Every structure is written in structure tokens, then in C-alpha cells.
Amino acid sequence: MVSVDNQELFETYYQAEYDFNTASLTEEEIDAIKELVKEKRVNYALAPIGEKIFDWIMEQSANIRFELVDFDSEKIDGLLYIPQSGSDKAYVVLNSRKPLINQIFAAAHEYYHYITDYARVKEEPFICNFSALESINEKKASRFAAEFLLPEEALRNEIKLFKKRLGGLGERKWLFEDYAALGIYLTVKYQLPLKAVIYRLYEEHYMDDIEEYIQNYSFIKGILQEIKFLEKRVKHLYGCSNHHFDSDSLIYRQMRLAYDAGLASREEMLADAKLLELDSSLIYEFFDKISDEDEDEDDTELMDYIGQIWRKEL
């Protein structure tokens, strides 16, 4: 990994907190982004990607790596860094002070810059200065990130399921609490920032007036963070820990690929880990995480619970 130690220089070129409002994009620009999302998500179809995005991006190109930096300024979300002029190597630099859910969005945002803007700016010395590009490119990158993490068709399917599970929503006008409950559900399942979820509902025309939800954003987020049923998952998403880039992360990624492909059982992998003298606590934590992900595949319990408690919370 590249050593990133010149914070003053990096803070000149940082990507500030993202603007999720992409209403100024033209219909043609949005259509192009949607097509790009479909192309890039081909192997995932409509399944949630969330924090798997870090491994996914590195699988797309051997030239992309991540760097977590403890920036002094919390205003910094991320940037795309090129070590030297003309280099094919690129680093997505993320602010380690930001919650994991923000780092997920930042990774998708910067990946858009890599695949669309990289060629035209890679000859600039040292840093790709995306903050100097037209602001429309930042909006495109944010729209790509939101679409990539929560595609249009997936959103449409989730709303149909939400109506079916909670009953009666298709027979009346949706209320504030209906959209807020849906926003909480999608935030947790797709690991997309709550504000980005609200804008996804608006930009896909599922809500007419977004101002009420933006004005009450802190209230909705407060409910999200107070629901006991979601405590473990929300704490994980809104904590700053990101173990995807630990020094031993490569071997764990290889273990996960072998496990998912059915090339090795849990018992075989634990035996191999012992022979390799890997930290046993990390190995068991690795399998605990897989178990948690398997449980997350069916979110009907989550949806039912939100429907039951929502009006009580209000």
C-alpha cells in the first residue's frame, strides 16, 4: 500500500460530503448511469452489495487498492489518488473517521471516477483533482453510487414486498411514517446512507415532496439508531471500523472465495488456519460474520418488526 502522510496536500483535493440531490442531471445522463450500473452489477443482479463493494472493486482491476487514512478533518469522505504521473495504479483513499456506511458509499462514488474520469486526468501530477472537475461529475458519481448500491429494479421489488408484508399500503396514500419505515429498512438491508435512500425514493418518483423527509432526517435517523432489534447491525454500519483492509485481509478474502465456491468446508478451513498459525479468534469471527450474512438473506422478520413497532415509536 502507498504511504499517505501528507494530509495538508490531500486535504486540498478531498471529496467533501456528498450531495445526494442529483435532480439537475438530464434524463440522458441518468439513463447512461443506469446502463453503467447494470453493466457493472451483472454478476450481482439485484442482490445487496453493501460492504462487499470493497472486495468487488479490487476484483475488477489489479490496479485499484484502498487506503484508510485518519484525516484530521471529518469533512473529508474520500478521493482517488494516483501515486505518480501516468501511473496505471490508483488508490481509493477513505477517511477512517467516517462510519462504515459512509465508507461504502465513498468507495462506490470514487469507483465511478475511476472508470469514467481516470483516463482524462491520470496525466496530472500526483493527485487526481476531482474537486476541480465540473460539479456535474460529482453529481453523476453520487447518482452512480446510489444506483449501484440500490438499483432501480431492486427498489421497485422492495416496495412491492413492503406493501404486501405490511398490508393496506396499496389501498391508501402513503404517510410520512410509511416512507420513514421503508427508508430504515432499506438503509439496513442495502447498507446505503439513510439520506441517500430518501433521495432514491424521490428520484425514482415514489414520493412527491422530499422536503418533509430531509427536514426530519435527524428524527428518522434517531429512530433507526434506537430500534433494539437493529442494534447490532446499526452499530456495525455506523461504527468506523473497517476490517476489509487489515493486513491479513487478503488471506481471509481467499478463504471466503474458497468457502463460497464450495471448495472447502468450515472444518477444513479451520484445520488449514491452524496449520498456518492464523489468529484463531479472527478465524471464528470470520465464520460468525458469514453466519450473520446468511441470517440477513431473509429480511422478512426485519420488515415485520419495523411494521409492528413504527407507530409505537412515533
Q: CATH code at 132?
A: 1.10.10
Flag whether 133 is in a domain. yes
Compute the distance between CA of residue 195 and CA of residue 145 in angstroms, rounded to an integer.
13
In the block, residue with C-alpha cell 468506523 = 240
Percent of the chain with pLDDT over 90: 33
> Is 19 a residue whose pLDDT tops 80?
no
Answer yes or no: do 21 and 137 share one domain.
yes
User: Do residues 253 and 135 share a domain?
Assistant: no
| Burial degree of 97 (CB within 10 A; 0-12, 13-18, 19+) | middle
> Rounded to whole angstroms, how far apart are CA atoms 73 and 104?
19
Contact by Cβ (8 Å): 188, 48: no
Q: Is the dihedral of CA 41, 15, 224, 227 positive or negative?
A: positive
Q: Which of 149, 179, 204 is the last residue of a domain?
A: 149
Predicted structure pTM score: 0.76
Q: Give the pLDDT score at 43.
A: 80
- Write out the three cell numbers for 37: 450500473
Higher pLDDT, 264 or 144: 144
Residues 36-57: pLDDT tens digits?
Answer: 999 999 888 888 999 999 989 9
pLDDT band at 91; cut points 50, 70, 90: confident
**Residue 162 to residues 108, 168, 175, 201, 224: CA-CA distances in angstroms?**
26, 10, 14, 13, 17
Q: Give the DSSP letter of residue 71.
A: -
Amino acid in the structure at residue 239:
G
Among residues 106, 123, 149, the one where a domain terminates is: 149
Q: Is residue 170 part of a domain?
A: no
306 lies in some domain: no
User: How do residues 127-172 score in pLDDT, each as one tens digit?
Assistant: 444 444 457 788 899 999 999 999 999 999 999 888 887 776 667 7
pLDDT one-digit tens code per residue, 9-18: 444 444 445 5
171-195 b/e (C-beta count within 10 Å ≥ 16 → b): eeeeeeebbbbbbbbbbbbbbbbbb
Residue 11 lies in a domain: yes
Position 223 in a domain: no
87 backbone dihedrals φ, ψ, rounded to 5°: -70, 145
Please give the grid coordinates belonging to residue 42. 451483472
Q: Which domain holds residue 68?
A: 7-149
Nearest-angstrom CA–CA distance, 179 and 191: 17
Contact 80, 128 (CB under 8 A): yes
For residue 36, the model assigns a pLDDT of 95
Angle of helix 231-238 versus helix 176-190 axis, rounded to 10: 70
Q: How confident is the model at residue 198 (pLDDT cuts 50, 70, 90)?
A: very high
The model's confidence at residue 123, banded by pLDDT at 50, 70 and 90, is: low
Cα dihedral sign, 138-91-236-154: positive
Q: Count of domains in the chain?
A: 2
d(CA 126, CA 131) in angstroms, rounded, equals 14
Give a yes or no: residue 225 inside a domain.
no
